[in-house]
Amino acid sequence: MKAIQNDHYTYRVTWSEDDQEYVGLCAEFPSLSWLSTSPEAALRGIRSVVADVVADMKKSRELAPDPLASRKFSGKFMVRVPPDLHRELTVEAAEEGVSLNRLVTIKLAH
């Protein structure tokens, strides 16, 4: 079992309109969150919660998720779209003189 660096996880702090507080989140642990009145405290809170969860997982010999930053990505994924959208995108790509793959990459980047 390899050691996991809690600081390598993907953390985010955002404002929660419902709670009227900042919420700290971790992409690799989507069920965890931490509310606080300041963004700094929300980040400290979620990092602490993740560290506790990872420690508990280690004690029970569970594997913690690999940080997204450590994962290798191929650059390929398959997306299913309705046939009409496929046709529309193919026509648009042809009119622009690019491949369908290039057109969709450009659209996803924006």
Give the pLDDT score at 4: 53
Answer whether CATH 3.30.70 is correct for domain 6-70: no
The model's pTM:
0.72
Helix (H) or strand (E) holding 107: helix 100-109
The domain locations on the chain are 6-70, 73-110
Indicate if the pLDDT at residue 54 is higher than 70: yes
Give the pLDDT score at 7: 77
Chain segment 55-110, per-residue pLDDT in tens: 999 999 999 999 999 999 999 999 999 999 999 999 999 999 999 999 999 999 98
